[in-house]
Homo-oligomer: A and B are copies of this chain.
Amino acid sequence: MAFPPDATLADAGEFGLISALTDLFAQGPHVLIGPGDDAAVLRVKTGHVVVSTDLMVEGRHFRRDWASASDVGHRAAAQNLSDINAMGGRATSLTIGLAAPADLPVAWALEFAQGFADECALVGASVVGGDLTRSDQLVIAVTVLGACTQAPVVRSGAEPGDVVAIFGRQGWAAGGLAVLGRGFRSPRVLVEAYRRPEPPYDAGAVAAEAGATAMIDISDGLLADAGHIAEDSGVSMDIFRSAFDVAEPLQAVGSALGADPLQFILGGGDDHALLATFPAGSVPEGWHVIGEVAEAADDGPRVTVDGAAYDGPTGWTHF
């Protein structure tokens, strides 16, 4: 269906738009029944399914003046696919709920959906269903389903003596967000990292096969997410400042904003790097050791940086 270039969701109507959107979503061979019925039906091989859900709210998780519709689509898919990655799984299927103002341009919705579909295609996952309704504020609700070929890696398995390792770029998206928040558009490479993260989709399953004892994707911030593992595993963790090479663009932003660039790395989320613990000697290729696991402190699990509490910004509060 073709829409006039300035058409809004109200002009297009629910069913016309749903039809145009679902045309963008290729269905994999595991999809027995795709979008358009009361529910989708998926073939499941492994006897279990991994499922996660995430919300993105305009003005809070994204801004239409800071990122294109396609970027928002990529990011909405990426942050959900990353949750399956963090279990050591592979994503197969997603649903999208879109609550949108009636004056949202149809073109925005279609570009969003195309970006979402393109990100899903990176891992071979299909968009199998969704819902579309009117709201005052744009809210994107995504649920992702996946499979693991081995035992899923939870947050609670870290053991004293394990090493802490990371896979993927970390702090770049936070640097980009800091830049955008001050009205700048450069360094461009950081802004792009914020607009369109590149989660290491293969690293999760590899880590699981290598015997990772705990794993999480970094979305609240490195230290905050390390804290989730520490808390759930009943251990403490120490992170080494010296493990991080601060990339040149992050150094530039630190200088420009008068901030320690390490705060983007230790406090930032949004890159969807993976953080995991491994028995010493089991760290697979591509993973970078940044710390170690110890017995919980007398007053409970804690995460330290070079043996001391970190006093910089450490993550994201949702309320």
Chain A positions near chain B (C-beta within 8 angstroms): 9-10, 12-14, 17, 32-33, 36-45, 47-55, 57, 59-61, 83-84, 86-87, 89, 93, 95-99, 102, 128-137, 139, 141, 143-146, 148, 152, 154-156, 215-217, 232, 317-319
Contacts and interface: CB of A to CB of B under 8 A. Distances in A.
A303 to B, nearest CB: 15
Contact of A9 (B60, B96, B319): B319
12 contacts: A33-B152, A33-B154, A37-B156, A38-B217, A39-B84, A49-B145, A55-B97, A57-B133, A95-B143, A133-B318, A139-B141, A143-B143
Contact of A44 (B9, B44, B61, B129): B44
Contact of A38 (B9, B36, B52): B52
Nearest to A32: B48
Contacts of A55: 97-99, 131-133, 135, 139, 141
Contacts of A54: 97, 131
Contacts of A61: 133
A43 B33 contact: no
B130 A53 contact: yes
Contacts of A141: 53, 55, 97, 99, 131, 139, 141
A300 to B, nearest CB: 15
Contacts of A135: 55, 57, 60, 137, 139
A41 B47 contact: no
B52 A319 contact: no
A122 B94 CA distance: 26
Copies per assembly: 2
A51 B265 CA distance: 37
Contacts of A318: 14, 132-134
Given A32-B152, A55-B139, 20 more contacts: A9-B319, A33-B152, A36-B232, A37-B87, A37-B155, A37-B156, A39-B146, A41-B48, A51-B129, A53-B129, A54-B97, A55-B99, A61-B133, A95-B143, A97-B141, A99-B141, A135-B137, A136-B136, A136-B137, A137-B139
Contacts of A132: 55, 318-319
Contacts of A152: 32-33, 39, 41
Contacts of A51: 39-42, 93, 95, 128-129, 143, 145
A129 B53 CA distance: 7
A204 to B, nearest CB: 9
A17 to B, nearest CB: 7
Nearest 5 CB-CB pairings of A with B: A141-B141, A39-B52, A143-B143, A38-B86, A14-B318
Contacts of A57: 99, 133-135
Nearest to A56: B133
A231 to B, nearest CB: 10
Nearest to A60: B134
